[in-house]
Structure 1
Amino acid sequence: MDIISYRDYCLSFPGTTEHTPFDEVTLVFKVMGKMFALTNMDTFESINLKCDPEKAIELREKYTAVLPGYHMNKKHWNTVLIDGSISDQQLKEWIKESYDLVIKGLPKKIRETL
């Protein structure tokens, strides 16, 4: 996966917006104002994704390219290295799961607008 396909995929979800709230190189994707994915646009060496806490641990144990979320709440976030060891299809699945997890946490009235 490259930065363009990553960006296009993230923006394909309803209600998604992109921002650079931390600095000029950290690209953050939000749904209804809540983060679900972020990366460094200059290097695109990893992406941070929200994850169910139990699944986050399982993924870290199974994949060497999945680490506790860098600069994030390590219970709820994973950092996934873009080193070629994780397929694009798997990355897309995890991005979608991150998006869905954020949607699930939104109030019902807001969820229904999506």
Structure 2
Amino acid sequence: MDAYQALAYALGKPSAWADNPFGHDLDLAKVADKIFLFPSAGGGSLGDAHSISVKNTAEAVEEFKARHPAQAGPAPYLNKRLWVRVVLNGLAEEEICELIDDSYDQVLAGLPKSRRPATP
């Protein structure tokens, strides 16, 4: 899975939508007005690697960094305890989807009930 596929997966979540407030190469994914996925198609400190930045609990972020030290690092400009930047190369698609699902769930849980998407 690359950054484009990760973004497409994220935008399939209920009430998710694409935004590009910073003029980057890829849109980011939001639910309500909160970002839950920052994808990157390479460049910068990661070279040509596709990556995503996702939110989770501090414990889950530390656990992921411990399991994948070569692929996980701090997400630029974001809370280093709750966000992690993940190089996608070599990770199983199921693991990437789980990271996106967890990020979406974390952001959704922080929204007031009146702003959460209706569930079927």
Short-chain TM bin: 0.7 to 0.9
Partner residue of 2:17?
A: 17
Where do residues 66-85 of structure 1 align in structure 2 (5 Å cutoff)?
Answer: 66-84=72-90
TM-score normalised according to structure 2 size:
0.84
Runs of 4+ in 1 over 3 A off after TM superposition: 41-44
Q: Which has the higher contact order (CA 8 A, sep 6+)?
A: 2
Q: Is the 8 A contact 1:60 1:66 kept in 2?
A: yes
Cα deviation for residue 5 of structure 1 reads 2.2
Aligned with 2:116: secondary structure? Answer: helix
The size of the alignment, in residue pairs, is 113
Counterpart among 94, 100, 111 of residue 99 in structure 2: 94
Q: Is the 8 A contact 1:37 1:47 kept in 2?
A: yes
Per-residue displacement from partner, 1:46-104 (whole Å, max 9, x unpaired)? 100011111111111111212122221111100001221x1111000010000000010
CA distance in 1, matches of 2:94, 2:24: 28
Aligned residue identity for 2:8: D
Q: Percent identity?
A: 29
Q: Is the 8 A contact 2:49 2:89 kept in 1?
A: no
* Structure 1 portions without partners, runs of 5+: none
Q: How well do the aligned residues superpose, as a CA RMSD in angstroms?
A: 1.8
Where do residues 1-114 of structure 1 align in structure 2 (5 Å cutoff)?
Answer: 1-41=1-41, 45-64=50-69, 65-84=71-90, 86-111=91-116, 113-114=118-119
Aligned residue identity for 1:14: P
CA distance in 1, matches of 2:49, 2:103: 18
* Structure 2 portions without partners, runs of 5+: 43-47
Aligned residue identity for 2:87: L
CA distance in 1, matches of 2:74, 2:4: 25
CA distance in 1, matches of 2:113, 2:59: 24
Aligned with 1:24: secondary structure? Answer: coil
